[in-house]
A and B are shown apart, each in its own frame.
Chain A
């Protein structure tokens, strides 16, 4: 009985054993505990197999479940997602053209909107007296400070450091428009009748019930990262061709110089949205990026001494850490020296790098 059938292989290939280890029920618990009692000679193999199965684990996502209710609601209303693909072979030409047609239609909508926008602005200049004045409010954060607040329509805004946002005290009946310089995350209150527009630099982001992040620091590329829902992005200048770019959740668009060369890519949630939770995240960040973000985050001025190689990159995640700890981290990882003098920081690159 000593070397019986019950070796590790036996347990590992036994579906009921595996199920019990992964998801014990009251009944399977009783069964296997009793089994073990009756087969003391297999105790060791039993435990080993158990330990091995417990070690097998797969990547999950902390956000699983967050949208459960919301999605059920959409499903019950028979709404399909943006990724919807029908069985390829059955598609007729019309169906294939649909996305294009939709885009064209959407472009028309945007053009009309912009036209009305221009016309509504026009009278302001000619008949200032007759136009009702809308009071604007501005929220701004200095470097080193973040804030959370709600717009008049209860849209949640998380405004990052060194950023400023302006919005009317009351949105009008047709649209909700805000002006952003810097970086902010929006969780937009759904309102089918009033569009939500974010104007930032030369880019407009139009929202369709959504959570997304806009980064638009002056002199840097504008980037919009979509967490959920749908947004379209188009240039703010009426003269340019305005076929909007649609973003799907998990995608971001980066507009550097002009809209034509905008790039859509998948983004890293932690890197793009981590700042809301006080996480300073660097993934293959250049020295330039590192400095810019540290300067904004900690309200300091950073100077670099020594030559930085083009290949210099750094990864790191700092949650609610102070400047010294972050710099210590960089020093440890990349062999630099630093000196803090009030709000001036000097980073010295060592030559042997």
Chain B
């Protein structure tokens, strides 16, 4: 246990964070610049934003509703953003976060207006965690068992927890972004949520810990 090495590591991480944010334009100068250009009426900035986030938004949306409905919402969202580009607020975080929040509101609104639907409609079970296609990693039965136990634990999470899993573990969002997506007042709530999820997967980890060759 050495505090020293952990300290260095944190420093590393902070530097790495700063560099990679510049490189990816995450939360950083690039997003703010593009957003400003779009607000000033630059059409190519608008098209750039659309092209960059379209697939991401679709994938997020289909966690709530069928693709055609999601596509409609995305269409309306962009029409409306483009229509009132002058009055839009400046961006505090990433563009992606702003769009995700807007789309979530829109889809939930549309779903609320819809009549009750069939039981197999996605909106009844948002953010379903499904295992990826069997990968080469799976070599033997015992590994298979562990994976299926993990899948079970993931499926056992409640809706809010699954939503956080989507943002944090699947989309790689920061705690602050998770806070914003979930509408929490404090970042701390987002952190607690993630910790609680890790805790409830803990049981599985214990089994998995024994051997997990990659």
Contacts and interface: CB of A to CB of B under 8 A. Distances in A.
Given A18-B172, A56-B169, A81 B73 contact: yes
A16 B201 contact: no
B131 interface: yes
Contact of A47 (B59, B129, B170, B212): B212
B110 interface: yes
A56 B172 contact: no
A48 B118 contact: no
A83 B76 contact: yes
Given A1-B1, A75-B78, A27 B23 contact: yes
B147 interface: yes
Contact of B169 (A4, A53, A71, A88): A53
Nearest to B213: A47
Contacts of A18: 168-169, 172
A55 interface: yes
A9 B198 contact: yes
Given A57-B129, A266-B121, A71 B71 contact: yes
B99 interface: no
B20 A28 contact: yes
B165 A48 contact: no
A250 B66 CA distance: 7
A67 B71 contact: yes
Given A27-B23, A60-B62, A83-B76, A15 B50 contact: no
A61 B58 contact: yes
A71 B212 contact: no
Interface string B66-81: 1111011111101100
B63 A57 contact: no
B120 interface: yes
B24 interface: yes
B98 interface: no
B71 A13 contact: no
B165 A56 contact: yes
* Residue among B1, B74, B76, B201 facing the most chain A CB atoms (10 A cut-off): B76
Interface in B85-131: 106, 109-110, 113, 117-118, 120-122, 127-131
A12 B17 contact: no
Given A18-B172, A64-B58, A266-B118, A5 B6 contact: yes
Interface string A1-33: 101110011001101101100110101100100
Contacts of A166: none
Which size class do B's interface residues fall under? 35 or more
A228 B68 contact: yes
B212 A13 contact: no
A65 B69 contact: no
A132 to B, nearest CB: 41
B158 interface: no
A127 interface: no
Interface string A80-116: 1111110010000000000000000000000000000
B55 A81 contact: no
A58 B72 contact: no
B121 A78 contact: no
A315 to B, nearest CB: 11
A307 interface: no
Contacts of B110: 83, 85
Contact of B63 (A13, A22, A27, A59): A59
Contact of B129 (A16, A56, A85): A56
Interface string B50-64: 110011001100110
Contacts of B58: 61, 64-65
A337 B181 CA distance: 55
B50 A81 contact: no
B50 A249 contact: no
A268 interface: yes
B174 interface: yes
Nearest to A3: B1
A71 B191 CA distance: 37
B139 interface: no
Given A28-B20, A61-B67, A81-B76, A23 B212 contact: no
Interface string B199-214: 0010001001100101
Nearest to B125: A59
B72 A82 contact: yes
B24 A78 contact: no
A28 to B, nearest CB: 6
A27 B20 CA distance: 7
7 contacts: A15-B168, A55-B131, A55-B154, A56-B129, A75-B50, A79-B75, A80-B76
Q: Which 4 A-B pairs have the closest CB atoms?
A: A249-B68, A81-B72, A19-B172, A250-B68
Given A72-B51, A75-B79, 13 more contacts: A1-B5, A19-B172, A28-B16, A54-B132, A55-B131, A64-B62, A75-B78, A80-B75, A81-B71, A83-B72, A84-B72, A249-B68, A249-B72
